[in-house]
Amino acid sequence: MVIETVPKASRVARGAFLKADGPITVDNWQDPPFNRWGFSHVAEMVTTAVVSRHPPTELTEERSGLPTSDTVAAIITDGFLEETHTEAFLVMRGQEVLHERYLGAARPTDRHLLMSVSKSLCALVVGRLVGQGLIDPGVTVPSYVPDLASGAYGLATVQQVLDMTVSVDYSEDYHNPAAHVHEQDRVAGWRPSHDGDPADTYEFLTTLQPAGEHGRVFQYCSASTDVLAWIVENVTGRRYADVLGSELWSRLGCSEDATVTVDRGGVAFANGGIACTARDLARVGRLVLDGGRVRGEEVVPRAWIEDTKTGGDRAAAEGTVFQRIHPRGSYRNQWWTTGDDRGTFYATGIHGQFLWLDPTSDVTVVKLSSLPVAVTEETSRKHAEAFNALTRALA
């Protein structure tokens, strides 16, 4: 596949249809002509609370009427869910919901932050666009994002970005306030900004520098997913949230809209900012287990799903905590492949977010949590063991 066209504009603006001078900001969104866009996108400019169309849980008793499986409950006990700070837990076998639990103040219609499960959703969109011939994984990033020509991604292929084998001078240490991942949080509006921070995520991405040869070592770098989202925006000419909606969310029969956080510049935080309900995330799981199809329609090419399930370069992931838990594990297309004899693969995010898929028993497990610590080997292992016990019992 040869990509003939390089996008002229390297950034899709908010309200591009306005043909207005300058970006839409918190200073001008109420003024003409920006208000033509701003009044329909207020949640992008100001933080918002949901005014739910659903009765509160105590009125509907929806939680007590949920499906319960003794088999599931015996393995994933309420005690386990409590001690792992779970808000939502859902198990499907085939198309059937076997077990569904909401804890604390959570209810089935609440959107919960997915953290890095967002990455795996981004890659499904990339896979669809690859199928449409809009993205060639074999070419380098600047083919689609000229702004990234001189930095860490200048020589990286899209596939290397998908597989997290780009060598970037980037620290993903969640516990170190000086780490790049913290700077990125600030730029995204997830933490208070500091003087001198880049104006938005795209500007931040252009500051990143290479650290070595690409394609050899697995380096989990959240920024790489944001590079994928930038590619998505440039090849479609539409904003990431809109593409995610039209190409994925609206094709799954979702019961609620999702949201994705956006920064001051309007750039979506593709690497971790999606929030959705447990039920809708389970629909993503079914899409993937069903080879990318929903009710006979191809949403993501089967070949893309197969390639993802097959996994990536095991040698590249040598020495990682992931391989201590899953010795034959690898990372491919923003998904974690265990390499176990069941073909288990999954999406995961810090603080206990999981979309766990077992093709052998055709089981989807969703767990959305708020663990006190971002990630530890112990909690990762504990969840993997519990989910493995569960899927074996359901086979």
Helix 117-131 and helix 302-310: axis angle, to 10°? 140
List the one residue from 21, 46, 297, 378 that touches its own copies (CB under 8 A).
46
Subset of 122-181 contacting its own copies (CB under 8 A): none
Residue 63: helix, strand or coil by DSSP? coil
CB 335 within 8 A of CB 123: yes
Residue whose CB is less far from its own copies, 161 or 368: 368
Q: State the chain's maximal CA–CA distance in angstroms.
A: 61
Q: 277 phi and psi, to 5 degrees? A: -80, 160
Listed residue (228, 231, 200) closest to 44, CA to CA: 200
- DSSP class per residue in 321-334: HHHHHSTT-EEETT
Phi, psi of 365 (to 5 degrees): -120, 130
Q: Output the smallest distance, CB 99 to its own copies, in A.
A: 20
CB nearer to its own copies: pick between 251 and 326: 251
Minimum distance between the CB of residue 45 and its own copies, rounded to whole angstroms? 6
**Could you say which of 12, 24, 45, 156 contacts its own copies (CB under 8 A)?**
45
Reading the block at residue 319, the tokens are 């020495």
Among 180, 309, 351, 383, binds its own copies (CB under 8 A): 351
Is residue 375 a contact residue for its own copies (CB under 8 A)? Answer: no
Contact flag: residue 53 with its own copies (CB under 8 A): yes
- Looking at the Cβ atoms of 245 and 359, the one nearer to its own copies is 245
Does 376 participate in binding its own copies (rule CB under 8 A)? no
Number of residues counted as binding its own copies (CB under 8 A): 77
Q: How far is the CB of 250 from its own copies (least distance, A)?
A: 4
Residue (36 or 328) nearer to its own copies, CB: 36
Token pair listed for 360: 């052998």
What residues have CB less than 8 Å from 326, skipping those under 6 apart? 336, 338, 339, 340, 384
* 61 touches its own copies (CB under 8 A): no
* Contact track, its own copies, 247-266, x by CB under 8 A: --xxxx-xxxxxxxxxx--x
* Residues between 2 and 31 that touch its own copies (CB under 8 A): 17, 26-27, 30-31
CB of 277 to its own copies, least distance (A): 10
User: In this complex, which beta carbon is closest to its own copies, that of residue 118 or of residue 234?
Assistant: 118
Site string for its own copies, 79-98 (x = CB under 8 A): ------x-x-----------
Binding pattern for the stretch 196-235 against its own copies, x by CB under 8 A and - elsewhere: ----------------------------------------
Integer-rounded Cα Rg, in Å, for the chain is 21
Active site residues: 116
Strands 112-113 and 96-102: unpaired
Residue keyed to tokens 């191809």: 298
CA atoms within 13 A on the CB side of 319: 5
Cα 6 vs. chain centroid, distance in angstroms?
A: 26
